[in-house]
Structure 1
């Protein structure tokens, strides 16, 4: 069955999308009340719908606009708050599949990467809450897909893919500024890849390509502020648009008071301090939502990072090296980003990339593993099923039921 599906990558992508959307949508109405940072972003979305005034100014507007669109289409309720999160969650999973397919040029690791991302629990939780990271991640993953497509495109199509990548990067920054380093990384990767093989990217010249990337992504970013120009109170103007960015920077870099769930970036790969998004009575039962990764995937993924670095540096394997570099960059930027507080959900993007690294490592070392790479799916599925009640706000037996899942002291 798998061998036949590997010969039909488009059909496989469709099946992945159907499964992902079903998994993210079932029970999305639980909890029925705002949880965690929905308090900020859903509230901001409601204001956006009224075209009242700029709110939640520390972040750009696109993610909140998408939440507002969901409310407009489906109502001011749990489904409306989270509808577009589920769609972007599905887009992210399919994007992981497409990205790995283009990177490894093989269907099997692409499928495994998508499965790992689907079962990795991070996307699952973020796809069922009205927060910004799911939107930023979706745009970034597909920006990466367009970048790889441009790298392999001929001179007739390369500019289409390159421009699409720039627009998607601009949209990602229009959700959260945390996407900015990935735009810079892409520019450097382009120069490096083109230096190693000038025939890549359809023979595009470096300076024009970088200029298009910069102009298109910046223009797309500023276009995401369009709704603010129609606010009744203090509407955005062209003269205010640039100074407003400085106001956002000041808010982004302000020193915040300590928080119970704060954690340092180096603890995130080890999952030492996950976050309870919700734990209280709702709809007649105690329910919880814990943002935590799948240990079978995220902890094994760290071994895969080391394996990919080894393969890249000692065996000159380009695909494992690229995957390892991307993950290392994605976690390393948090060591230098000027944020006074860190939280485990900042690991969202690195955790997605880690699924790609794991799939690439299994594919590269498949012969050494005696072609038993699929065995990892057993503990991965088992762990997802084990944590599912506190990922999806299922009814729990008592107020202390959470102790069943608390493996480490920092998880409580």
Structure 2
């Protein structure tokens, strides 16, 4: 058996450091609360005092992390946002190592990670105190751990599987929208094991299906419930062991209530086409007109759709578990929104899917024979140009006047 290739730790570290620098640069702009920070920073402030429940429609972990940032760095822009930038860097590194585990080559891993860095959705969510960035970080790292479990020797497979289960439980502890991913992980495990049985594969050596699925479910649920620990110490209306499970129903009712129409609402099927991006900010603040538009990098968001289709086609044709899995992850991440009982949808719900597009692009453009290498380089170059083009309205840079936004509005449906 050939010795395993050494892990490209220095390359991953360099990409991660560059990502963290980019995400942190001018993170204090704007100095006011940005978009949904008004909800989550306020809830984090209340959580720090343990006065009582706030923002009960969402679990507690994301707000606890914002509260931790405030505790460490102060009740200011850095405290509200810096841990979000760390979460985004974790997403970049998670994508790098997922692609390394799947392909064992530096090139696709680096391409995928760089596309994540250059994707506007990741950049914007890295610089705002919202829940979605933390959820995505735990989700990507959980996927990485489960994938490592698939390729690990029997004595280490269980260790990675349990870690992945914990991380997915933490993702749900930030937002419930990560819960279906636990079911998808179990389904993927069964499908790959069935493929192994027919073709002599060697994924998840030494792990039997029933114990593996039971561990995934039990560990993730227990981890999720433990994220409510601070609520047991509220001065007002604290949770108790007997009220913890009924409280989940209260949260469900909050999540599914019918809300009034919103200016930026959109349907799930429009998100892949990027029909309705969202202004997180567009006003005179800090002495200048500034804007923050949640918009993906067009090269990633639209090119990624072609890449997903290719991964599904090539995966089926070649019987490639890897390509089919990458394409299916994106499909599943979007399909859940067709059945989740939410009265309103918003483009930022597409955030995890926009990350999976980077995986699909890196996989679709990978050519170990080297004949098509210019395509992956070109994808990064085009993405970099578009990132620089949109940077002023991703980063809250000073704009010349209130009409400056028109420069970036390619379509009438863009706000």
Name the TM tier (shorter chain): over 0.9
> In 2, are the aligned partners of 1:173 and 1:179 still within 8 Å (CA)?
yes
Alignment map for 1:67-216 (pairs within 5 Å):
67-197=66-196, 199-216=202-219
> How far apart, in 2, do the equivalents of 1:38 and 1:94 lie?
25
Equivalent of 2:267 in 246, 256, 264: 264
* CA shift in 2, pair 1:43/1:370, >3 Å: closer
Deviation for aligned residue 1:209: 1.1
Alignment map for 1:223-238 (pairs within 5 Å):
223-238=226-241
Q: Which moved more, 1:90-99 or 1:300-309?
A: 300-309
> How far apart, in 2, do the equivalents of 1:21 and 1:64 lie?
21
Deviation for aligned residue 1:338: 0.9
> In 2, are the aligned partners of 1:366 and 1:373 still within 8 Å (CA)?
no
Equivalent of 2:294 in 282, 285, 291: 291
Q: Secondary structure at the match of 2:398?
A: coil
Alignment root-mean-square deviation, CA: 1.4
Deviations 1:51-91 (A, max 9, x none): 10010000000000000000011111111000110110111
Deviation for aligned residue 1:337: 1.0
> In 1, are the aligned partners of 2:111 and 2:376 still within 8 Å (CA)?
no
> How far apart, in 1, do the equivalents of 2:151 and 2:270 lie?
37
Q: Which moved more, 1:372-381 or 1:38-47?
A: 372-381
> How far apart, in 1, do the equivalents of 2:398 and 2:6 lie?
42
> How far apart, in 2, do the equivalents of 1:104 and 1:328 lie?
21
| Runs of 4+ off more than 6 Å | none
Q: Secondary structure at the match of 2:75?
A: coil
Q: Which moved more, 1:197-206 or 1:28-37?
A: 197-206
1:358 aligns to 2:352 (yes or no): no
Deviation for aligned residue 1:104: 2.3
Deviations 1:21-76 (A, max 9, x none): 10010100001001111010000000000110010000000000000000011111
* CA shift in 2, pair 1:175/1:387, >3 Å: same
Equivalent of 1:392 in 378, 390, 395: 395
Deviations 1:261-317 (A, max 9, x none): 000111111100000000111110011000000011111111111111221122333
Q: Secondary structure at the match of 1:298?
A: helix
- TM-score when normalising by structure 2: 0.96
- Please list every run of 5 or more consecutive structure 1 residues that lacks an aligned counterpart in the other structure: 1-5
Q: Secondary structure at the match of 1:408?
A: coil
Deviation for aligned residue 1:368: 6.1
* CA shift in 2, pair 1:365/1:275, >3 Å: farther
> How far apart, in 2, do the equivalents of 1:231 and 1:366 lie?
60
